[in-house]
Amino acid sequence: MGGLTLDKILVLDFGSQYTQLIARRVRELNVYCEIHPCHLSADEIRAFAPRGIILSGGPAGVYQEQAPTCSREIFELGVPLLGICYGQQLMMNQLGGQVQPSRRREYGRAELEILDDGDLFRGLGRSERTPVWMSHGDRVEKPAPGFEVIGRSDNSPYAALRDGARRFYGLQFHPEVVHTPQGKRMLSNFVLEICACRPEWTMANFIDLAREEISARVGSDEVILALSGGVDSSVVAALLHRALGRQLHCLFVDNGLLRLGEARSVEEVFGSHFGMDLVVVDAAVEFVQALAGVQDPERKRKIIGQKFIEVFEREAGRFARARFLAQGTLYPDVIESRSVRGPSATIKSHHNVGGLPERMNLELIEPLKELFKDEVRVLGRELGLPREIVERQPFPGPGLGVRVIGEITPERLDTLRRADAILQQEADQAGLLAETWQTFAVLLPVRSVGVMGDERTYEQTLVIRSVTSVDGMTADWARLPYDTLAIISNRIINEVRGVNRVLYDISSKPPATIEWE
């Protein structure tokens, strides 16, 4: 890449639920951007060398005691600033304006009247009205010296402010959310025009930068990767392979809890097609034996987790020269672990290989830790991974083990696997896999009576679960078309022996979870 230096935007986080969205919108403009807690030190800010800074929203009020603040040096750096909601209020507060609780809290849609379409609102039209998304209890009562109004709404006379000389901007509303349809244009005006960032953050450039960095760090040492067949570990594999070739060793543990054909497709893609050094460990019998007779969901998860570590450690022993363990950590995990809201707001209990690097005395290498999920998918495509892998829906580490409710036996696993394969096929054909967060089957330990031909049956029950979600933290059941459900149900009952009833799960999360166990 010959020393490409990317133009960067810094997002200082004051705890808004939308902070990640700001960063994603900036990245969509092909400009690199990082989120840091608002209290980042002046030295760190200077070292980051941003071409512009965005101050996020947040739940606090600027006049409260202990209200979060940031280094005052951001006002002296000579770079453009954009304050959003709390960010705008903080800016006014620090620069000599006035902020007060507004008489009416304003949540939801409002109309912004554009008073100046010169720079931040370029292309939007003077005197035009455009919908914006408000979510605030406080508002600016008096702008700081040097600021002029460039947009207002019925409840916010200072909905948009500008200090043209210093290139400081403040918005009372949220340009980063989809409910502000022109928000993307505003952010683009800020990032590409006002900050003059070059749009060079592309996954093609990322590959070059990452290769250099990985090669420099790993040198002639070797790396082990636990390949699961999911998007993240697959993209890590493809990227590391590009950088390191046969210095990368991929271990794929077939735990017998995978979907139909999964192990074979991993071998085909990574072994045959990419020619990676791939070891497939068939541990199905071992896992199913360890799970025999176990019904309790938490115990199942524990057993599967422990078994995985045991098998992985044992099999990884063959790569005695390895010094690194690669993991598909993504940027949201990194942000959440150092969030200003504190780790308690965002704890996730789904870490499948937690503790492994320490136990095995390996250094962690996490080449995706700067990327959002959508970027990882683009990167995967860029690296030549097939669509089935890049667009794959999330699949839990414990696999079908938490989807066969009750006792896990090879027969019941087989039943679920075949039913799930039909569901996947039909859902894919109907375009539903792209539209839903997850669509999968669950086998219940409930039998019911039916008739088939002239015969009475007494067979098992299968549930179809299909949900929409942005991040898996909350979810709604998908409104799948009846006709598609009819085809799926018919095929499953006719083609999968042992199932005579299919149900559709219409529970949202919360209070239900996405998985059944």
Given the rule CB under 6 A, which residues bind ligand XMP? 350, 352, 394, 396-398, 438, 472, 509, 513-515
Other beta carbons less than 10 A from residue 11's beta carbon: 26
Instruction: Give the residue with the Cβ less far from ligand XMP, 228 or 415.
Output: 228
The least distance separating ligand XMP from the CB of residue 412, rounded to whole angstroms, comes to 19
Of 383, 332, 33, 363, residue with least CA distance to 208: 383
Nearer to ligand XMP, 99 or 237 (CB): 237
Nearer to ligand XMP, 305 or 406 (CB): 305
Provide the minimum distance between the beta carbon of 332 and ligand XMP in the complex, in angstroms, as a whole number. 13
Please tell me which residue in 36, 136, 174, 249 is annotated as part of the active site: 174
We find the least distance from the C-beta atom of residue 123 to ligand XMP, in angstroms, to be: 39
Tokens 């018919």, residue located: 490
Q: Kind and range of the H or E element at 504?
A: strand 499-504
**Shortest distance in whole angstroms from residue 513 CB to ligand XMP:** 3
What are the structure tokens assigned to 516, written together?
């059944």
CB contact at 8 A, 279 and 266: no
39 is an active site residue: no
User: 427: closest CA among 413, 443, 441, 444?
Assistant: 441
Q: Which is nearer to ligand XMP, 17 or 508 (CB)?
A: 508
176 is known as an active-site residue: yes
Helix (H) or strand (E) holding 482: helix 482-495
Helices 410-429 and 482-495 meet at what angle, rounded to 10? Answer: 150
Nearer residue to ligand XMP within complex by CB, 10 or 231: 231
The answer to whether the Cα torsion of 236, 269, 311, 347 is positive or negative is positive
User: CB of residue 310 vs ligand XMP: minimum separation in angstroms?
Assistant: 17
The one catalytic residue in 176, 315, 370, 375 is 176
**Smallest distance, Å, CB 509 to ligand XMP?**
5
Q: Are strands 455-468 and 476-477 parallel, antiparallel or unpaired?
A: antiparallel
Least Cβ distance, residue 191 to ligand XMP (angstroms): 32
| Tokens at 129, concatenated | 């009205």
Integer Cα distance of 382 and 405 in angstroms? 39
Q: Which residue in the list 85, 195, 197, 250 is annotated as catalytic?
A: 85
Tokens standing for residue 281: 């460990």
Tokens 């933290």 found at: 473
Place of tokens 């082990």: 224
Cβ nearer to ligand XMP, comparing 61 with 394 = 394
Which parts of 218-282 are beta strand (E)?
222-226, 248-254, 277-282
CA atoms of 124 and 186, how far apart (whole Å)? 9
Max Cα separation, the chain? 87
Torsion-angle region of residue 266: left (phi > 0), alpha (psi -120 to 50) or beta? alpha
User: Smallest gap, in angstroms, from Cβ of residue 144 to ligand XMP?
Assistant: 44
Q: How many residues does the chain have?
A: 517
Q: Which is nearer to ligand XMP, 5 or 344 (CB)?
A: 344
The one-letter amino acid at 294:
V
Reference 218, options 210, 208, 229; nearest CA is: 210
Mark residue 308 as left, alpha or beta (left: phi above 0; alpha: psi -120 to 50; beta: remaining).
Answer: alpha
Q: State the catalytic residues.
A: 85, 174, 176
